[in-house]
Amino acid sequence: MLIDMHVHPIFYGPICNDDAELENRKNAFGVWKQGPMDFEELFAEWDICGITQAALLPLDLTTTAGCWVVDNDQVEALCGMNPDKFIGFASVDPHRPDAVDVVRKAFEEQGLQGLKLNPAKQKFYPNDPVAEPIYKLCEQENKPVIFHSGLSWEPNTPTKYCHPIAFEEVLIKHPNLRVCLAHFAWPWVREMAMLMIKYPNVYTDTSLLYVDSPEEQMMELFTKDMGPMWFERCFPEQVMFASNGPRFRAFKLKRALDKVPMRDFARENLYYKNALRFLTGKGCNHYGRGEDDPASE
């Protein structure tokens, strides 16, 4: 079992019927020289590395760019086509006046299972009061939030909004909210590690491949940027497999991670168990902390 917790379905064929919309998506997201793909091509790649499910992430840029990079309705439609394979997330622009209503609809009517926000692209600090009602709703509905964190390649994305330390007050204020700071907050890996040690409700993922080959970057991440035992010893329930498709190819990251030394329990956590905990809140025992996740049933 392998769950890819970070996929942007920008080029998924069934939602690529409008050329102008696709062009807007590409320019807003900052990805070019790729085109629509059908599910057969997508699943061929899944099959060679064993991916069984993937979290699909939209992004609402209503007030900052006047568009979405895939909207909630499109994610709902894609999930309806492959309900066993796709885990649909919602997004919302925190600045829009109906933000809470959009999120409530996504959770209660559209069956979406979490929320994706990108503070750099959506222009808000994570601790901005404008986002508070959204966080409270996610806590009430037991839905996790994935934030973009660290380097963002998307155009017009000041990194100051996505430094991992900018999220700390949210973690303090919302100890029951499961939060993923994606991409290991690269290049701030040690700050990310610090947050995971300190806050059991924060997660991260492996979707970074900015400077080297997959083998080199994953080995650097798990054995040099961090000490080689940090993941297993300190936060084995807080790191999830993710690819950030279409920026990085999932099977190459999986191939590279397979070569990183780690115990079997840690690898199982990395490849799917942590994703299941993050998504549901069930089974969180906060490794070595002697407490249960308050959100679990």
Partner 1 sequence: MVVVKTIRHLSKAVSEFYNITEQVHGIVEKSGIKNGFVAVITSHTTTGIMVNEALPCVEQDLSELMDKLVPLNEPYLHAHFLPTYGATSNNSQGHLKSALTGNHCLFPVLDGKIVCGGAQEIYLAEYDGPQARKVFVEVMGE
Closest approach of Cβ 259 to partner 1, in Å?
9
The answer to whether residues 228 and 222 touch, using CB atoms and an 8 Å cutoff, is yes
Three-class DSSP labels, 239-256:
EECCCCECCCCHHHHHHH
The residues, ordered by sequence, that sit 6+ positions from 4 with a Cβ below 8 Å of its Cβ are 51, 53, 54, 55, 241, 242, 243, 245, 250
Closest approach of Cβ 146 to partner 1, in Å?
19
The answer to whether residues 11 and 58 touch, using CB atoms and an 8 Å cutoff, is no
Closest approach of Cβ 102 to partner 1, in Å?
27
| Edge-to-edge strand ranges of the sheet holding 86-88 | 3-7, 53-56, 86-88
Tell me whether residue 37 or residue 229 sits nearer to partner 1 (CB atom): 37
Q: Where are the beta strands (DSSP E) in the chain?
A: 3-7, 53-56, 60-61, 67-68, 86-88, 90-91, 115-117, 145-147, 179-181, 202-205, 239-240
- Specify the length of the chain in residues: 297
Closest approach of Cβ 41 to partner 1, in Å?
5
Closest approach of Cβ 33 to partner 1, in Å?
5
Binding site for partner 1 (CB under 8 A): 29-34, 37-38, 40-41, 44-45, 47-48, 153, 209-216, 246-249, 251-252
Tell me whether residue 49 or residue 112 sits nearer to partner 1 (CB atom): 49
Closest approach of Cβ 280 to partner 1, in Å?
31
Closest approach of Cβ 245 to partner 1, in Å?
9
The residues, ordered by sequence, that sit 6+ positions from 224 with a Cβ below 8 Å of its Cβ are none
Tell me whether residue 48 or residue 165 sits nearer to partner 1 (CB atom): 48
| Gap between the Cα atoms of 192 and 198, Å rounded | 10
Angle at 142 between CA 138 and CA 144, to 5 degrees: 65
Backbone Cα Rg of the chain: 18
Tell me whether residue 224 or residue 263 sits nearer to partner 1 (CB atom): 224
Tell me whether residue 157 or residue 280 sits nearer to partner 1 (CB atom): 157
Tell me whether residue 42 or residue 87 sits nearer to partner 1 (CB atom): 42
Which pair of tokens denotes residue 206? 């492996």
The torsion of the CA quartet 149, 182, 289, 291, rounded to 10 degrees, works out to 110
Tell me whether residue 44 or residue 165 sits nearer to partner 1 (CB atom): 44
